[in-house]
Amino acid sequence: MDEGHTGVYEDALCRVREIGESAGIEAEVIESLLRPRQVLTCSLPVRMDDGSVNYFTGYRCQYNDVLGPTKGGIRFHPDVTDEEVKALALWMTLKCALVGLPFGGAKGGVVVQPKALSPMELERLSRAYVRAMADFIGPQVDIPAPDVYTNARIMGWMMDEYEAIRRVRSPGVITGKPVRLGGSLGREEATGRGAYICIRELAKRKGWQPDQIRVAVQGFGNAAYHVARLLARDGYKVVAISDSKGGIYSEQGFDIESLWQEKQKSRQVRAVYCEQSVCQLVEHKEISNEELLALDVDLLIPAALEGVIHSGNVESVRASTLVEVANGPVEAEAEHWLDEQGITVVPDVLANAGGVTVSYFEWVQNRTGYPWSLEQVRERLETQMGEAFDRVWHLSQTEARTLRGAAYSVALRRIGEAVTAHGTREYFGGQDG
């Protein structure tokens, strides 16, 4: 295969066209998803600690709101582009439709290296973003949430700034907030737990014995940690973990809690085993992220950024199953090769939908003023994700589709029902009685 990447947004549109047409989705529905509803680009002036002013570019895309107010995270990353934000917002549109949430899709981002900012500079940037977006977002219009390099504290700052501008208490404007500011219990673990539920459901259908399954996880952020932790708890052998700097491998597997503890302390992925506060190095091999993707494992979990598996490296993938915890980690052209090899791919619009699902739960709690217990959140996430996986699996079996094809078909049909309810060419042309 030729090396190279397609544009991430064009790649996303390609899949919508291809899967929509093969599933018999009405052309008007597909057409409605080939362009965003609106995109706002802004320049954010931030006073730095040395007294100077730096300008950062911010984006917010509201892609499609036919099912409800738009919903999607905000990422702080040096590689954010308008094309990436539109692709992420499109995927969020499909994700919300797939799991049955009354939301459309959105996404936001700021072009910044957040690790280079002081805590006070980060707060000023977060508040500047909301000032620029204050007329664009709202609890019944567009509800942001955390994403790459943003977190609960940043969401708290953003909510506070929005409330100061509007002069009204409005906890539902942002999800993923600190619990004491109206956040939901279980939100921090939600994306990883949702992926874990999908893997557990897949294991039932494939007849897996957890202690026989070797797992490699690319990425070690919040979502990756929680899915790895839950899998290890069930007996899966997590043999490789990586972050942006590289990874580690051990055939014996790792103690995930110890790795996470060391990551929080040293900001490095290091192979250690910790007994309370005492940690010791364990035997391991250092590997690159590319080497991790090519490991001979049963389950590969790309949980970093989009486009990491592409036409230039897909033929090195040896895992029999991929679960996309990151958004768009497998490019469309690369997935054709995976399908030909019989490699199962659980798509991002299903596998990482736990985060937006619990964000929806948080939004509901904010609107009713009635907080849920952690047990309630987990039970409802189990139900929502389990039903979504079952629906996708059933369709993949009855219509001989890949799991992505089935997931997109479910989402597109739901969006299609909403579009049809407003009237399509058949109705207005007099062909629909």
Query: Cα separation of 58 and 111, whole Å?
Result: 6
To the query of whether residue 285 is one of the catalytic residues in this protein, the response is: no
In 114-131, which positions are buried (b, 16+ CB within 10 angstroms) versus exposed (e)? beebeeebbbbbbbbbbb
CB atoms within 10 A of CB 274: 16
Residue with tokens 């000032």: 131
In sequence order, the β-bridge partners of residue 322 are 300, 345
Please give the C-alpha separations between residue 94 and each of 33, 71, 165, 328, 410, in angstroms, as whole numbers. 10, 11, 32, 13, 9
Write out the two tokens for 162: 């929005």
- Please tell me which residue in 95, 107, 237, 263 is annotated as part of the active site: 107
Write out the two tokens for 223: 């979502």
Please give the C-alpha separations between residue 405 and each of 158, 322, 382, in angstroms, as whole numbers. 37, 15, 23
Q: Are 407 and 15 in contact (CB under 8 A)?
A: no
CB atoms within 10 A of CB 56: 18
The runs of H, that is alpha helices, within 269-373 are 289-293, 332-340, 348-351, 354-368
Nearest Cα to Cα of residue 325 among 340, 307, 347, 341: 347
Q: Are 14 and 6 in contact (CB under 8 A)?
A: yes
Half-sphere exposure at residue 428, Cβ-oriented, CA atoms within 13 angstroms: 8
3-state secondary structure of 84: helix
Angle, alpha carbons 103-105-110 (nearest 5°): 130
Write out the two tokens for 391: 């629906």
Alpha carbon 306 to chain centroid, angstroms: 10
CB atoms within 10 A of CB 17: 15
What is the dihedral angle through the alpha carbons of 169, 170, 175, 181, rounded to the nearest 10 degrees?
Answer: 10
Residues labelled as active-site residues: 107
